[in-house]
Structure 1
Amino acid sequence: MKHLEHILWDEWLTIPFIKPVEDEIAGIINGLNYRKDSDYYVFSSRRLFTIRRLLYLFSEIPTFNKTMNAKDVIQIINTNIKGKTVFRIKESMAKDIILRSSSFGRRERNWNWIRGVWGSCGSLYLPKSGYYLVIRLPENNSIPDRLQSILKSAGFSIGVRKRIKTRELILRNQQQIVTLLSRLGFVRTTLALEETAILRMMRNRANKLVNCDSANINKSLAVAQNQLQTIKKLETQGLVETLPEHLKELVFLRKENPSATLGELGQFLSRPITKSTVKYRWRKLEEVLRK
């Protein structure tokens, strides 16, 4: 999982921007908690690479390039407040972004915007079994409803879980997770996830075969043990010598091959027989013992 996580975030951080970059910037901002402070909007994030992506995107806006440096737009206040990095953006700039997201958010399937939201509050987990993609959004605006509506309209089976101050949008279907990551432009991550899925499937299949073989071996040994006990009772009562030759041969072969399966036992006979015929003959031996 660590390997896949590194691929995912490295790809998100370095993926080429798609115009208009303001869409992805708005998505990142929409996925963060923020508060108004004087002439600024103050944001916080545990993901330092999110701020790096913001700086990169702001540097690609022509109007900002001409008038100011991207680092002047994003001012980092503190890099260690309960594990979070706190930064601020001037109110006028932040408002423009928020208003922009309000207007284009009505358009369905803006994957640039969704990529930004994912980068600020999305996560991918691979527990021992299954797959788990979650986007944890602040429950203080209409963004969760908007994103949920967009993803559902695109055919994704989204689960919803409400937490304190957040809403989680959850995707558990492996193929749908691959599709979503692909639409966000994460080619390397998609290939790595599909490779992981194939390896898991092969491992599960191998485990099932081993478990099945183990169960069959245990069953064969239990049957053989019961047959050896039947033979012992026949010998104790002096009945073995009275048996027909084909049953007597079966008794001797079982004693010589205590761990053989019924199928193998049938093939060891001077005249090989099928597994079902071996079963039939053992029922005959049990009938002799009951009489």
Structure 2
Amino acid sequence: PDKKSHLELKTTHQSLAGEETSLMLDLGLSPKQARRGSAYLLYFKDGASAEDFLTRIGAPHAAMELMQAKVEKNLRNTINRQVNCETANMMKAADASARQIAAIQALIDSRGEDAFPGNLWETVRLRLEYPTDSLSELAQRFDPPISKPGLSHRLKKIIELAEKED
């Protein structure tokens, strides 16, 4: 059940395979058919059909185990996707913060604190004081707080100033 579900019935008698197919069709199941060597196969490749088959032949516990495994797998996949997304966002934020701090340091080294007009100085001060803050967190530290797009604009302006220095 940890892998993709596949249920297979195998017989060496063609007539028996035909009867099994008829019975399953009567139950509303549609197995696929194949021949491998001298064996005749009836199989289900999707989990839902395998679960239906197990339930209808009187093995509801086995069907429930398949369902539970599928739910657990979906939950693990969802959690992994969320963690990967959050990790990627944190890495992007950390990279952006590092670029901003490098630009700030370059401007301070070349022109001193006078390189930053008015409202940019407060942005510089807060970014240097809180290097790990996200834009949202940093925007809330202003008095009064500013918008995230407003802070982003200021930080882009600082990076542009630093790039002109190069």
C-alpha distance in structure 2 between counterparts of 1:234 and 1:249, whole Å:
15
Answering whether residue 148 of structure 2 is matched by residue 250 of structure 1, we say: no
Q: 2:5 aligns with which of 117, 120, 131?
A: 131
2:77 aligned residue? 204
Deviates more, 1:197-206 or 1:144-153: 144-153
1:71 aligned residue? none
Q: Work out the percentage of aligned pairs sharing the same amino acid.
A: 26
C-alpha distance in structure 2 between counterparts of 1:159 and 1:257, whole Å:
62
Task: Please give the TM-score of this superposition, normalised by the length of structure 1.
Answer: 0.50
Count of paired positions: 164
Change (3 A) 1:249 1:186: same
Q: 2:145 aligns with which of 265, 272, 277?
A: 272
Larger RCO (alpha carbons 8 Å, 6+ apart)? 2
Answering whether residue 107 of structure 2 is matched by residue 234 of structure 1, we say: yes
Query: What pairs with 1:1-291 in structure 2 (closer than 5 Å)?
Result: 126=1, 128-138=2-12, 140-152=13-25, 154-238=27-111, 240-291=113-164
Q: CA RMSD in A?
A: 2.4
Q: Deviations over 1:216-263 (max 9, x none)?
A: 111211111111221122122216423223211111211122222111
In the alignment, residue 122 of structure 2 is paired with which amino acid?
A: E
- Structure number with higher helix proportion: 2
In the alignment, residue 133 of structure 1 is paired with which amino acid?
A: L
Change (3 A) 1:244 1:187: same
Task: Please give the TM-score of this superposition, normalised by the length of structure 2.
Answer: 0.82
How far the C-alpha of 1:184 sits from its partner, in A, is: 0.8
- Structure number with higher strand proportion: 1
C-alpha distance in structure 2 between counterparts of 1:160 and 1:274, whole Å:
62
Q: Which runs of 5+ in 2 are unaligned?
A: none
1:5 aligned residue? none
C-alpha distance in structure 2 between counterparts of 1:161 and 1:181, whole Å:
20
